[in-house]
Amino acid sequence: MNRQPFLLPRRPMQQLSNQEAEKLVREGVQALQSGRGSLARSLFNRIAETGRANAQIWLLLAIACRTEGDMAATEAAVDRLLALEPRMVRGHILKGDCRSHAGDEGAALGYYESARLLADGQALPPDLVAELRRIESAIEELKERIEARREAALVEAGLTPDTRSPRFQQALDILSGRKRIFVQEPTAFYFPGLPQIQFYDPASFAWAAPLEASTAAIRGELARLLESTGTKDFRPYIQSDPNRPRRDDNPLLDSTDWSALFLIENGKIAKETIARCPRTWEAVQAAPLPHMTNSPSVMFSLLRPGSRIVPHTGMFNTRLVCHLPLIVPPGCGFRVGNEVREWEVGKLFIFDDTIEHEAWNDSGDDRVVLIFDIWRPELSHRERDEVTALFASSPLGSR
């Protein structure tokens, strides 16, 4: 097939009247619709040569050139289009196609992903919706090929999966899209400069092992409590308060599907519960509980069968939250950021609750965990005193 060279003119050719230009556009569109790409290209090119082409003309010219398989001319027209309309979804898709044809897979992926982002929330015509579906497949294929090359290069360099550091592997998982970037997002108070750690290693805390060793005694107290009064003393963990606004529609609001029995709630001691669970109370005293306004809290947390605690974040990043699993039927799970874990009776979780987290009980039985909060180990004693003074002067809410 003889293709017309796509050369931008060095000087404007004979000018067209508005009527002439409109006639050329109509004829070009009709030629495209009837499959006569060469004629359409010629007609749109005449308008471009006069210097009168707008973004729509460059788009039509790019489409006409693509129908002929001339990707170099297509890309030249797309570049002019994007110079005028840098956020045009069709332009990004066409540019991605051109880069893909040229073997520049990284740039192709970038343009396809930007097209997807630009299209988000827009009302789109059916043909553009179909194009977006097409590039979804292209995006996945490009990611797989790029990742395969990256993985092969790392292995060749001696960095096999079993020799990589955990943080480097996590960086690769984020790079590939297998994991997301999660950061602290406290809802009430943010203390800067603290590390973004999802789960802490309990072995780093001297008090953790003795507390885990108390699991049998704590479970015994819980069992006797449940035998004597059942769950009647447990109350919904999330309760409506007419004096506090709610900005969500949490399905567990005022629901006993997620309920708690407190030994201490936001700094207020429940003497009767402590009297019934003295070993539990004694065990948590070894942990650095943040004694200040609205803190600490220590509770038995009960999650009913089939219940799910939706993704959420905690209020203050100056503390960590601890879970000591006591009753854990199969089918229960817990996620903090990118990490999903299953509770094991007596195995402590220490995590940053200002990083998005969620929990579920897909079993047919209740799940019960002892929950309490501690000071973050990175805070100095001076900083703890400062935070305590702040909360005393201006309470920032409860859990």
Alpha-carbon dihedral sign for residues 242, 253, 310, 117: negative
Residue 367 belongs to some domain of the structure: yes
Domain shared by 247 and 362, yes or no: yes
**How many whole angstroms separate alpha carbon 339 and alpha carbon 361?**
17
Q: What is the CATH number of the domain that holds 141?
A: 1.25.40.10
For 264-276, the pLDDT digits (tens) are 999 999 999 999 9
For 298-327, the pLDDT digits (tens) are 999 999 999 999 999 999 999 999 999 999
Residue 299 belongs to some domain of the structure: yes
What share of the chain has pLDDT > 70, as a percent? 94
For 107-130, the pLDDT digits (tens) are 999 999 999 999 998 999 999 999
Q: What is the CATH number of the domain that holds 330?
A: 2.60.120.330
Residue 171 belongs to some domain of the structure: no
Domain shared by 230 and 321, yes or no: yes
**How many whole angstroms separate alpha carbon 174 and alpha carbon 323?**
27
Average pLDDT, the chain: 91
pTM: 0.76
Sequential DSSP letters for 59-93: HHHHHHHHHTT-HHHHHHHHHHHHHH-TT-HHHHH
- Cite the DSSP H helix spans in 89-235: 89-101, 105-119, 126-156, 166-176, 208-213, 215-229
Residue 293 belongs to some domain of the structure: yes
| Measured CA angle at 188 (ends 309, 390), to 5 deg | 135
Domain shared by 222 and 354, yes or no: yes
- Judged against a pLDDT cut of 60, whether residue 367 lies above it is answered with yes
Domain shared by 114 and 209, yes or no: no
Residue 178 belongs to some domain of the structure: no
Phi, psi of 81 (to 5 degrees): -60, -50
Residue with the two structure tokens 């447990």:
234
**Which pLDDT band holds residue 246 (cuts at 50, 70, 90)?**
low
Domain shared by 250 and 105, yes or no: no
What letter would DSSP give residue 244? S
For 202-218, the pLDDT digits (tens) are 999 999 999 999 999 99
Residue 58 belongs to some domain of the structure: yes
HSE of 325 in the Cβ direction (CA atoms, 13 Å)? 19
Residue-number span of the structural domain to which 128 is assigned: 18-147
- Judged against a pLDDT cut of 50, whether residue 11 lies above it is answered with no
Is residue 244 a contact partner of residue 238, using CB atoms and an 8 Å limit? no
As a whole number, mean pLDDT of residues 159-170 equals 93
Last residue of a domain, one of 103, 122, 147: 147
**How many whole angstroms separate alpha carbon 96 and alpha carbon 142?**
11
Domain shared by 360 and 261, yes or no: yes
Domain shared by 269 and 378, yes or no: yes
Domain shared by 127 and 252, yes or no: no
- Judged against a pLDDT cut of 70, whether residue 398 lies above it is answered with no
Residue 165 belongs to some domain of the structure: no
Question: How many structural domains are present in the chain?
Answer: 2
Torsion angle of the four alpha carbons 235, 239, 243, 246, in this order, in degrees rounded to the nearest 10: 170
